[in-house]
Structure 1
Amino acid sequence: MKKFHPLRAGVLAIALSATIASLAQAADPNKPEIRFGATAGPYSDQIRYGIKPQLEKEGYKVTIVEFSDYVQPNLALADGALDANAFQHEVYLKKFSADHKLALSELVKVPTAPIGLYSHKHKRLDELKDGATVSLPNDVTNQARAIILLQQLGWVTLKPGVDPVKSSERDIASNPHRIKLVPLEAAQLPRSLDDVDYAFVNGNFALAAGLKLNDALLLEKIPPYYLNLVAVRTADLNKPYVTDIANAYRSADFARVIEQRFAGFSKPAQ
């Protein structure tokens, strides 16, 4: 019979305890993998540099899934392919959820890059000529943002009684410069700059295309309802991982990342 070795037994016990602890953590429903969707550019980078490191310290595995459109991230979230997404504002979320009968909810607002008016052909807004072409987003809520800015510039006026937040091309009462509006998918707007006189480009797609916010000839002053947000399934709002995501966005660590990497972004009120 082999002799009993207390030291070896102690090592085995420690190893066994570590294995059990590891398995327990892997099976812990409060420490799951979080699949986080975002449009490519600043909102996925906010997760990558400001949120993922915090959540991984809490024991989560975080996977970032990047999208190039505004439709698939919400469908994927509702279907369970994602656990959260960050790319849209509350006006878009509410309309998309209602139109598609999805149970999605806002969790927390995030620092947001404003929509801006850019040009490769003109250096000033007063260079506008009659018949100029202006590209703008083709989705309902972001098109309204562009039309609000067009009205502020005096390039168009809206029909009396129209809610600017819900406005579209059909609501334009006068267009004194006979501007030709060119609606495009938001991700395609930076590419349109070589073909149009001016283009309204959402901040995330502008930055992803190498444009700078201060390159814009006009930047919107973002109202709270146009600040981007993190969305989750409504049924998951009270789950621990959702609380941890919200806490990460509200943390001092995340605030430092925003100051260092995302200067010029509009920030939500704390």
Structure 2
Amino acid sequence: MSLFRRHVVLASLAAFLALPALAQQPAAAKKELVIGTTAGSNIEVLRRGIQPQLEQKGYKVKLVEFSDYVQPNHALAQGSLDANYFQHIIYLRNFAEKNKLDLAEVVQGPIAPLGLYSRKFKTVAEVKEGARIAVPNDPTNLARTFVFLEQYGLVKTKAGVDPLKVTEKDIADNPKKLRFVPLEAAQLPRALDDTDFSVINGNFAISSGLKLTDAVALEKTPDYYLLVAAVRTPDKGAPWVADLQTAFRSPFFKQVLDRDFAGYARPAALH
């Protein structure tokens, strides 16, 4: 072998042997986070309770506001967001499965309860026969709506039906012959002028200028309807995800909820 070729081979071998060492070097720590959410209470919860903690740890945090329940998950899956916070675990899992998205929940947080609102009536007792009620049109929040209405005796669902999958066909008794008007969740506050009642997700109620205390009735929220922060599944073990989880479980966050978000359903650890 010529001296030249021997030098080439040795140089190539040295480069090859160096590859594992390079691969083992840790990547630069992520210091910019983009978190998607929806209008109203959800973005305010992040802005007041989570963003300050992450920024104190050295992150630059950008909050991106969406007006529907579809775009935030697609944006997360496509990499435009690092995390999102707007949905409960049932919606996340159903949406991810239906759309073949590799997303995972990492921590629970508070949610403004579902509410029954009206511009014409003040109490559940005033719900009249044949009343028109606007309801969310996505399957998970529609099921949640019927469970909510059952809490106040307005409907009764069939025995043994899965509360997470209730549809109008699963209503065994509708004593007041209520008429349901399915609409996209973000449009429900606007339906108040055209219907007798609207069942409105708390964040959209607040973003439209309504208060939780304005509701005719508020949901007694089960834990599985608490909101979750979601990330792409491969990111679950990242240090920044651990910092996000810590922020959601912190005494500081509890203080913010106690001060600014009274009446919100929240995980047991934040009571």
Change (3 A) 1:50 1:68: same
Work out whether residues 123 and 217 of structure 2, in 8 Å CA contact, stay in contact via their aligned partners in 1.
no
Q: Find the counterpart in structure 2 of residue 19 from structure 1.
A: none
Q: Give 5+ residue unaligned stretches, structure 1.
A: 1-27
Q: Find the counterpart in structure 2 of residue 66 from structure 1.
A: 65
Q: Find the counterpart in structure 2 of residue 235 from structure 1.
A: 234
Q: Find the counterpart in structure 1 of residue 100 from structure 2.
A: 101
Q: Which residue identity does 1:210 align to in structure 2?
A: G
Work out whether residues 31 and 59 of structure 1, in 8 Å CA contact, stay in contact via their aligned partners in 2.
no
Q: Which residue identity does 1:40 align to in structure 2?
A: A
Q: Which residue identity does 2:84 align to in structure 1?
A: N
Shift of 1:215: 1.4
Q: Which residue identity does 2:208 align to in structure 1?
A: A
Q: Find the counterpart in structure 1 of residue 31 from structure 2.
A: 32
Give the whole-Å Cα distance in 2 for the aligned partners of 1:31 and 1:98. Answer: 28
Q: Give 5+ residue unaligned stretches, structure 2.
A: 1-26
73-82 or 160-169, which deviates more? 160-169
3-state DSSP class of the match of 2:230? strand
**How many residue pairs end up in the alignment?**
244
User: Normalising to structure 2: TM-score of the pair?
Assistant: 0.86
3-state DSSP class of the match of 1:256? helix
Q: Find the counterpart in structure 2 of residue 128 from structure 1.
A: 127
Give the whole-Å Cα distance in 2 for the aligned partners of 1:219 and 1:36. Answer: 28
Shift of 1:174: 3.0
Q: Find the counterpart in structure 2 of residue 10 from structure 1.
A: none
Q: Which residue identity does 1:122 align to in structure 2?
A: F
3-state DSSP class of the match of 1:117? strand
Give deviations 1:156-203, integer Å, cap 9, x for gaps.
222343212210112223323221100111111111111111111111
3-state DSSP class of the match of 2:97? helix
Shift of 1:265: 0.9
1:214 equivalenced with 2:196 (yes/no): no
Q: Find the counterpart in structure 2 of residue 150 from structure 1.
A: 149
3-state DSSP class of the match of 1:165? coil
Work out whether residues 39 and 87 of structure 1, in 8 Å CA contact, stay in contact via their aligned partners in 2.
yes
1:182 equivalenced with 2:181 (yes/no): yes
Shift of 1:41: 1.2
Work out whether residues 121 and 216 of structure 2, in 8 Å CA contact, stay in contact via their aligned partners in 1.
no
Shift of 1:107: 0.8
Q: Find the counterpart in structure 2 of residue 194 from structure 1.
A: 193
222-231 or 254-263, which deviates more? 254-263
Give the whole-Å Cα distance in 2 for the aligned partners of 1:134 and 1:39. Answer: 23
Work out whether residues 37 and 66 of structure 1, in 8 Å CA contact, stay in contact via their aligned partners in 2.
yes
Give the whole-Å Cα distance in 1 for the aligned partners of 2:152 and 2:234. Answer: 43
38-47 or 156-165, which deviates more? 156-165
Q: Which residue identity does 2:230 align to in structure 1?
A: A
Q: Which residue identity does 1:220 align to in structure 2?
A: E
Shift of 1:29: 2.7
3-state DSSP class of the match of 1:166? coil
Q: Which residue identity does 1:134 align to in structure 2?
A: I
Q: Which residue identity does 1:100 align to in structure 2?
A: N
1:75 equivalenced with 2:90 (yes/no): no
Shift of 1:51: 1.4
Give deviations 1:61-102, integer Å, cap 9, x for gaps.
111000010011011111111000000001111111111111
Give deviations 1:87-120, integer Å, cap 9, x for gaps.
0001111111111111111111111111011111
144-153 or 229-238, which deviates more? 144-153
Shift of 1:142: 0.7
Shift of 1:252: 1.7
